[in-house]
């Protein structure tokens, strides 16, 4: 296929074309025009445009952005807050860092528009602690926006007051989970909390709070510019717009690609990524990052489309595609994934804290070739319990790769089972 056939640049169209440290460069390419347009609209009209666009959250949950904005606008209580989740800790994902480092004003403009539409006066951008360069560039862009009247009191003489603070994390993966992120901003330990209530009604400081990730906010100026109906023509019936894909692993051209929803995984790997080095065969593909599902190569015709993924009991999370060729050891990969989540667990809930530790023990039994049939049954029960009973997405999603290996690559476990069950645990 033509390697450009599935590409349409919206969020990345200014990458390499402007100096990301210059607000004048951004303005010269249409920057903040959408904000001017939005300030002449009512909040309800803006929200309707977002709803008509079909935009869904790009952080993984795919919740309709317009509905979230409406819920916050209609929620009782004040003040209200808006938070950009830029704690991109999921291994395999790096799109938000690219957006902040290459076009930070696009993010800021999107947040301001959302805040205006929902009646919010203050916002935060929570940036992963390791993203020092991105944080510095966003801070610089915020200061430029204040000087030019896009932030602060009476923005562009529209009678709207709004400002944004940057909050940097300290390296904890679990703070990417929205409730852990909220309590961290409040100065508490980053640990998940029970829900409901949800942030739209009881978020930061127990006030209504809108939380979206970087990519979601960056879509907002484009929707206001072209109109929700026009935006909805891009993509598929269930998935509107474009998607940033972080392609990594055993591919010739790893990197960040912006593709139209509906593009197949195979076209991304072979058309954009150039295929597998030395013409090796693909062993498996992981979608979404370390917490995402794995699939065999014969499923790579699947499109990036929410409905198609749901039909196959899959999801593509934030958009990572990790390619692993025939040389990998599947169980070693699983052990690394579970080891990562065991290290990053906040330890609050038993299913996650103890479940991950026990999963590592069981994986070692299979890797060492001493596992028995009862171990396989126990592994299934354990990962199901973690998925159903953990408080937050870390514990719920941590065993996803194991689940899918058991489904699509059962021989990886069956071939390691010892002939007798006398050593069963």
Tens of pLDDT, residues 107-158: 999 999 999 999 999 999 999 999 999 999 999 999 999 999 999 999 999 9
pTM of the model: 0.95
Residue 75 reports pLDDT greater than 50: yes
Q: Which domains does the chain have, with CATH numbers?
A: 23-231 (3.40.50.11540), 242-325 (3.10.20.600), 330-414 (1.20.1440.230)
Confidence tier at 420 by pLDDT (50, 70, 90)? low
Confidence tier at 2 by pLDDT (50, 70, 90)? very low
Residue 76: CB atoms within 10 Å: 8
How many whole angstroms separate alpha carbon 202 and alpha carbon 72? 10
Residue 104 reports pLDDT greater than 60: yes
How many whole angstroms separate alpha carbon 144 and alpha carbon 148? 6
Residue 214 CB burial class (10 angstroms; 0-12, 13-18, ≥19): buried
Confidence tier at 195 by pLDDT (50, 70, 90)? confident
How many whole angstroms separate alpha carbon 381 and alpha carbon 337? 19
* Averaged confidence pLDDT in the chain: 95
Q: What is the pLDDT of residue 413?
A: 97
Average pLDDT, integer, range 284-300: 97
Please report, rounded to a whole number, the percentage of residues in the chain having pLDDT higher than 70: 97
Residue 3 reports pLDDT greater than 70: no
Confidence tier at 297 by pLDDT (50, 70, 90)? very high
Residue 5 reports pLDDT greater than 80: no
Listed residue (285, 254, 284) closest to 272, CA to CA: 254
DSSP per-residue string spanning 17-73? TS-TT-HHHHHHTTTTHHHHHHHTS-HHHHHHHHHHHT-B-TTTT--BHHHHHHHHH
Please report, rounded to a whole number, the percentage of residues in the chain having pLDDT higher than 90: 93
Average pLDDT, integer, range 379-383: 96
Confidence tier at 4 by pLDDT (50, 70, 90)? very low
Residue 31 reports pLDDT greater than 90: yes
Residue 226 reports pLDDT greater than 90: yes
Confidence tier at 418 by pLDDT (50, 70, 90)? confident
Residue 384 reports pLDDT greater than 90: yes
How many whole angstroms separate alpha carbon 274 and alpha carbon 122? 44
Q: What is the pLDDT of residues 34-51, one digit of tens each?
A: 999 999 999 999 999 999
Listed residue (48, 118, 114, 108) closest to 80, CA to CA: 118
Average pLDDT, integer, range 19-31: 98
Average pLDDT, integer, range 310-318: 94
Residue 79 reports pLDDT greater than 50: yes
CA 381 to chain centroid = 28
Note the residue count of the chain: 425
Confidence tier at 192 by pLDDT (50, 70, 90)? confident
Residue 421 reports pLDDT greater than 60: no
Q: What is the pLDDT of residue 419?
A: 62
Average pLDDT, integer, range 262-290: 97
Average pLDDT, integer, range 242-264: 97
Confidence tier at 30 by pLDDT (50, 70, 90)? very high
């Amino acid at each position: 296929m033509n390697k450009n056939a599935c590409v349409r640049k919206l969020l990345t169209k200014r990458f390499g074309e402007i100096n990301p440290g210059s607000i004048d460069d951004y303005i010269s390419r249409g920057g903040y025009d959408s904000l001017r347009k939005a300030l002449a609209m009512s909040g309800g009209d803006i929200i309707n445009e977002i709803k008509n666009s079909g935009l869904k959250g790009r952080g993984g949950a795919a919740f309709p952005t317009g509905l979230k904005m409406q819920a916050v606008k209609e929620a009782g209580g004040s003040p209200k807050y808006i938070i950009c989740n830029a704690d991109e800790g999921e291994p395999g994902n790096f799109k938000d860092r690219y957006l902040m480092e290459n076009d930070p004003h696009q993010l800021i403009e999107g947040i301001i528009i959302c805040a205006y539409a929902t009646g919010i006066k203050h916002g935060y951008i929570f940036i992963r602690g390791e993203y020092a360069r991105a944080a510095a560039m966003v801070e610089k862009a915020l200061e430029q926006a204040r000087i030019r009247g896009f932030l602060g009191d009476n923005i562009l003489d529209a009678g709207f007051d709004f400002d944004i603070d940057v909050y940097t994390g300290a390296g904890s993966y679990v703070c990417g989970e929205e409730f852990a992120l909220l309590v961290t901003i409040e100065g508490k330990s980053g640990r998940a909390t029970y829900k409901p209530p949800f942030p739209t009604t009881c978020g930061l400081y127990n006030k209504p709070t809108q939380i979206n990730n970087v990519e979601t906010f960056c879509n907002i100026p484009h929707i206001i510019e072209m109109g929700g109906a026009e935006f909805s023509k891009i993509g598929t019936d269930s998935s509107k717009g474009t998607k940033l894909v972080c392609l990594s692993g055993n591919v010739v051209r790893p990197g960040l690609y912006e593709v139209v929803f509906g593009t197949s995984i195979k076209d991304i790997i072979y058309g954009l990524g150039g295929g597998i080095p030395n013409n090796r065969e693909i062993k498996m593909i992981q979608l979404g990052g370390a917490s995402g599902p794995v699939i065999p190569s014969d499923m790579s015709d699947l499109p990036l489309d929410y409905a198609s993924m749901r039909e196959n009991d899959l999801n593509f999370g934030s958009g990572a595609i990790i390619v692993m060729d025939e040389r990998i050891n599947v169980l070693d990969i699983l052990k690394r994934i579970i080891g990562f989540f065991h290290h990053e667990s906040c330890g609050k809930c038993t299913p996650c804290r103890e479940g991950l530790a026990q999963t590592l023990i069981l994986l070692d039994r299979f890797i060492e070739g001493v596992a028995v049939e009862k171990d396989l049954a126990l592994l299934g029960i354990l990962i199901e319990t973690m998925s159903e009973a953990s408080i937050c997405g870390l514990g719920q999603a941590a065993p996803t790769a194991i689940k899918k290996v058991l489904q699509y690559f059962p021989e990886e476990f069956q071939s390691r089972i010892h002939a007798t069950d006398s050593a069963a645990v």
